[in-house]
Structure 1
Amino acid sequence: MNRESPESGTSPSAAVPPPTPAADRQRVLLVTGMLGAGKTTALRVLEDLGWEIIDNFPVRLLDRLIERSPAAEGSPRPPLAIGFDCRTRGFDPARVIAQVKALDEREDVELNTLFLDCSSKELERRFNETRRRHALAADAPVDTGIRAERELLAPLRRWADLLVETTEFTSNDLQRVIRERFATEAPEDLTLTVSSFGFSRGMPPLADLVFDMRFVENPHWDPVLRPMTGLDAPVGDYVRQDPAFNEAFTRIRDLLLLLLPRYRTQGKAYVHVAFGCTGGRHRSVFTAELMAAALRDAGFSPTLLHRNLGSRAADLLEGGQRREK
């Protein structure tokens, strides 16, 4: 920033304070969005990550909250997350944006805005499921309040640095996104997750690589194997007997061994590899277990998750009637 020196003759370098070192800047994240889109979950995860958390803060007092004094030597200020929404007293999106613009000019503050959004239909479902009343609906139907809130927040949504759409997210999905993007310390190495899931219960929204194992003969149609899972040896033997399985598995393994080191080199911190079958209990579970073991042998440390392993086996999920070979 260029400033003219005062008439007293003080030099420009004396008049302008030196830039604040990046390590001493106060990191601030404003967390807002549609009611029911996940603000509480996001703030809870940020708190677990070491952020200081303030929810439902009167945004008009934002500039007073953020200290101007530098952090004490040896005691860097923790990052600060401030949650607010349409229920916050004196909430005015235009005023919030004006305050953010003013704070952006300060050299001692690094400020970003996270907006959590969700489809109106899904928000309506969540409100009806929890029997909560929308803050802007009064005695009207919940969709009336959602429409009013969306119109009110539109300027702030356009302004936000980061938009997270949570329509298809579970609570765990949102937690993972927040951890990936706002952890104060980056993981030292690639964080690898290998999972299984059932297509009949929806695809995992955050998987980086998805492999469909439904080309393999389905153990579900064997009455002996049906109550078992991919963790049981007879199911694994059945899957291995499919003529296409071994070659497909080898090609997928080799592809992962090619890609994962390149992801690591490019600085990607998290990779989620998902294997799916119809119900998520047999073929995908066995393949995920086998792939995790192969990746461990190659020097990786994958976390193994089985999303639908505990789900009830159901003929309707597996296609109704038995398919003839």
Structure 2
Amino acid sequence: MEFTVITGMSGAGKSQAMKVMEDIGYYCMDNLPPALLPKFAELCYDSKRTISKIAVVLDLRGGKFFNDLFNSLEKLKGSGFKYRILFLDASDEVIIKRYKELRRPHPLSPHGRVIDGIEEEREKLKEVRAKADYIIDTTSFTLGMLKEEIKKIFLEGKEAKSLTVSVLSFGFKHGIPIDADLVFDVRFLPNPHYIEELREFTGNDKQVQDYVMGWEHTRVFVEKLIDMLDFLIPYYIKEGKTQLVIGIGCTGGKHRSVTVANVLYERLKEKEHRVIINHRDCNKY
């Protein structure tokens, strides 16, 4: 019997993921208290309906019950049931945008700021995320892309060959991203901040891109970076890594890092890698 636990950040797409799992033949249960997992598995096993594929959504809506998750998973394993954990994630900015569009409060901050709830949730889910078998970052995903990704993993068995590369631009003055696997410092490149007519633009604007990429050592750096990733990525996939976060940093995270991250993103897409991009500090001052 296949047992899949769907969890992750609120607003990252768990409900949509459950619907996809239903479409591909899984018996699904939403917001089951973790303490009931072993009993639920036994009921499904003994069911005359011969339920063989199960997906359960577990998240922090269960409040203190969520703390029972790992204990329940151990009991599940001890009873002879195998399980996999699918973790749905997305950037803070995208989650906030989704909550604003739906006009809903965050479950951990019903009367406060959404970002406060997100930060608390990330802290509480760190251990679960670290133990997840599959991580899908839906930051730049459409619903169609999420469906395709889940089908690849659970129908075609491509999870061991599939790696999400997250390219993240940032500013060192705002702190190094704690989830970055590889960090590259591009502060050695000429800074558009000191060019008056470029200062107010970002690396998403052609004027800044032309300036940053107009230097030979920028182009050489990008080529060497691509060469190194061409070497590393197959080994990450071989080792079963599901997500690679590449941080590209400059002083403020507005010009050089954004430009280089955009170029890296496009080059990796050309090589048919599954890649997403996030400019963490692009609009900060």
Match of 1:59 among 21, 35, 38: 35
Q: Is the 8 A contact 2:34 2:58 kept in 1?
A: no
Asked which structure has the greater CA Rg, the reply is 1
1:276 lines up with 2:249 in the alignment: yes
Q: Unpaired runs of 5+ in structure 1?
A: 1-24, 32-37, 115-125, 133-145, 147-156, 167-173, 315-325
Match of 1:76 among 52, 58, 73: 52
Structure-1 residue corresponding to 2:82: 110
Tell me the CA shift for residue 274 of structure 1.
2.6
Q: What is the alpha-carbon distance in structure 1 between the residues aligned to residue 158 and residue 48 of structure 2?
A: 22
Q: What is the alpha-carbon distance in structure 2 between the residues aligned to residue 267 and residue 104 of structure 1?
A: 22
Change (3 A) 1:129 1:26: same
What is the TM-score of this pair, normalised by structure 2?
0.58
Instruction: Give the total of aligned pairs.
Output: 231
Structure-1 residue corresponding to 2:101: none
What is the TM-score of this pair, normalised by structure 1?
0.53
Q: What is the alpha-carbon distance in structure 2 between the residues aligned to residue 302 and residue 92 of structure 1?
A: 33
Q: What is the alpha-carbon distance in structure 2 between the residues aligned to residue 214 and residue 221 of structure 1?
A: 13
Tell me the CA shift for residue 195 of structure 1.
3.2
Q: What is the alpha-carbon distance in structure 1 between the residues aligned to residue 209 and residue 59 of structure 2?
A: 48
- RMSD in angstroms over aligned alpha carbons? 4.7
1:204 lines up with 2:204 in the alignment: no
Q: What is the alpha-carbon distance in structure 2 between the residues aligned to residue 216 and residue 284 of structure 1?
A: 10
Match of 2:261 among 281, 288, 310: 288
Match of 1:176 among 137, 142, 161: 137
Tell me the CA shift for residue 275 of structure 1.
1.4
Residues 201-255 of structure 1 deviation map (CA, whole Å, 9 limit, x = unaligned): 3333333222111111210121100122223333233223556423322321221
Q: What is the alpha-carbon distance in structure 1 between the residues aligned to residue 267 and residue 250 of structure 2?
A: 20
Change (3 A) 1:66 1:264: same
Q: Unpaired runs of 5+ in structure 2?
A: 87-107, 115-119, 139-145
Residues 14-38 of structure 1 deviation map (CA, whole Å, 9 limit, x = unaligned): xxxxxxxxxxx2516497xxxxxx7
Q: Alignment identity in percent?
A: 25
Where do residues 192-231 of structure 1 align in structure 2 (5 Å cutoff)?
192-231=165-204
Q: Give 3-state SS (helix, strand or coil) of 1:79's partner.
A: strand
Q: What amino acid is aligned across from residue 192 of structure 2 in structure 1?
A: P
Tell me the CA shift for residue 302 of structure 1.
4.8
Structure with higher RCO (Cα < 8 A, 6+ apart): 2
Residues 250-272 of structure 1 deviation map (CA, whole Å, 9 limit, x = unaligned): 32122112112332333433323
Structure-2 residue corresponding to 1:258: 231
Structure-2 residue corresponding to 1:44: 14
Q: What is the alpha-carbon distance in structure 1 between the residues aligned to residue 277 and residue 56 of structure 2?
A: 32
Q: Is the 8 A contact 2:167 2:247 kept in 1?
A: yes
Q: Is the 8 A contact 1:279 1:308 kept in 2?
A: no
Match of 2:112 among 119, 130, 142: 130
Structure-1 residue corresponding to 2:279: 307
The structure whose residues are more often helix, as a share, is 2
Change (3 A) 1:200 1:27: same
Q: What amino acid is aligned across from residue 224 of structure 2 in structure 1?
A: R
Q: Is the 8 A contact 1:277 1:284 kept in 2?
A: yes
